[in-house]
A and B are shown apart, each in its own frame.
Chain A
Amino acid sequence: MLPIEIRDVSLVYDTPGGKVPGVKNVSIDIDASEFVCIVGPSGCGKSTLLNIIAGFLSPASGEIRIGGKAVTGHGMDRGVVFQDFAQLFPWRTALGNVSFGLEMKGVAKAERDKIAREQLRLVKLEKFTASYPHHLSGGMQQRVAIARALAYNPAVLLMDEPFAALDALTRDDMQRLLAEVWRETRKTVIYVTHNVAEAVYLADRVIVMSPHPGTVKADIRIPLERPRDPLSAEFLEWQKNLLRHLGHETAGDETQKSNGKATT
């Protein structure tokens, strides 16, 4: 529930082929409890930006402040959920995974387990506390990962395409679940995705990035009321809007163009 300021952040990758710009002069202000999605095609630097905010990468220039404090490396004020299910520790049960952050904080065992169980209940896995990750499906593992990232109460939640590797039906369920969880916990969320529909469903604001080098192309508010209906006309309009910003023409635009109307 803290605001995030991203100021003029740049990063350059050192590759065998030469220096490749990752992100360039990115500046974004995020309010506390805002749900922000970053979308863009591959190579636009969205994951890089997330890793910089998480503290795994250092920007060449610029700085990031969370709640007014500058970010230097990783910290417990940010929770991270990656795309890879294998992010869970296979040698710990679901409960063991979720309580890891609390363990690092020094919380006593009884208290830890209580909080961890509560988190698992939040993601509807209260029956699987004693299961090892390899017994859980992909969707379930991602739920545990979310619970794990929330358990030690970070102010910010960073998510890097967490549902991209799931099948469509599971993904829909997970998006609904995440919207619920966010409503209950009101964390500041930065969510990276290449899935436009997902962004429209989840976000208060969508930041569109373009590649080579990664820069912010557009910053769009999604004023739709929650819970959002992915099949409603307004939802589809916003989707088309976003796609246009990403540079994709949609079928509607084609007919409009051929009718001689402007597409905005």
Chain B
Amino acid sequence: MNESTQRRRTMIRGLLSLAAAAAFYQLVALSGYFPRVLLPTIPTVLTTLYDMLSDGSMLHHAAATLYRVLLGFALAISVGLPLGILMARFKPVENFFLPLVSALMPIPSFALVPLFMLWFGIGNLTTVLIVFYAATFPMLFNTWTGVRSVNPIWLRAAGAMGADEKRLFWKVIVPGASPFIITGMRQAFLRSWIAVVGAEMIAASDYGLGWVIFDSKEFLQTDIMMAALVVIGFIGYVFERVVFGSIERATVYRWGMVRMAKG
């Protein structure tokens, strides 16, 4: 069978699969075998989602979470990127920071939440700092690897054509390391997202998507919990595909430096 019928089959099977999963869930929820409170029907979840969106509460939570993520993420880039570059260019810097980074990396960001709560209290500061902690490592590590991997041939060619240190940096090293830098940003964002949800569960005061999920557990509001999960998934998807996808398309794919991964 040829490619196009194969692709159509794939799509049909995919849709059927999702539909079947949804139908199965719905049946189980309606059967009453589990308490309705624990397993809300799909229409219930959708209604709750719609209500929370229209009265603005969900948007408020999403905005708070996004604010914390973006702030922490920005901090991580502003520290991780320059430090990674410095580590790759200057051996003493690398010698100093590499052991420290290697020692801290295995510590999950979540393990530091109680400590940060003691030091910085509950609320935005703690959550942003946790995000910052979680996101810095992938950013730093990828940048470091990226700059180290810049093909020395490019550096030699540019030097032979008269480029000085500064121009070498901006015109050869930064673009050359960009696939890694962008991967680093993508991983850093992913980690930020994971960290923020976790941190919000314990350390946020009263808004944020993570907080909503945790709080709704107390009152067995599974429908709210699921609605929040949908929102989290959606935002994550948008960022991954739209934001990072377009950055990659505009730079490294266009330059042929990275092959498009399948789907």
A residues near B (Cβ < 8 Å) are 14, 16
Contact = CB atoms under 8 A, between A and B. Distances in A.
Interface in B3-51: 3
3 contacts: A14-B2, A16-B2, A16-B3
Contacts of B3: 16
Nearest to B1: A14
A16 B3 CA distance: 8
A16 B2 CA distance: 8
A103 B184 CA distance: 47
Interface in B71-96: none
A21 B2 CA distance: 16
- 3 shortest interchain CB distances as A-B pairs: A14-B2, A16-B3, A16-B2
Interface of B: 2-3
A263 B203 CA distance: 92
A78 to B, nearest CB: 28
Contacts of A14: 2
A14 B2 CA distance: 7
Contacts of B2: 14, 16
Nearest to A14: B2
A14 B3 CA distance: 10
A65 B3 CA distance: 32
A14 B1 CA distance: 9
Contacts of A16: 2-3
Nearest to B4: A16
A1 B2 CA distance: 39
A176 to B, nearest CB: 39
A16 to B, nearest CB: 7
A14 B5 CA distance: 13
A235 to B, nearest CB: 43
B1 to A, nearest CB: 9
A83 to B, nearest CB: 24
A211 B3 CA distance: 25
Nearest to A16: B3
A16 B7 CA distance: 13
Nearest to A15: B2
A86 B3 CA distance: 27
A108 to B, nearest CB: 43
A18 to B, nearest CB: 11
A151 to B, nearest CB: 37
A16 B5 CA distance: 12
Nearest to B3: A16
B125 to A, nearest CB: 52
B116 to A, nearest CB: 47
A16 B6 CA distance: 13
B8 to A, nearest CB: 15
B2 to A, nearest CB: 6
A16 B4 CA distance: 9
A14 B6 CA distance: 14
A69 to B, nearest CB: 30
A136 to B, nearest CB: 28
B6 to A, nearest CB: 12
A14 B4 CA distance: 12
A240 B3 CA distance: 44
A30 B19 CA distance: 58
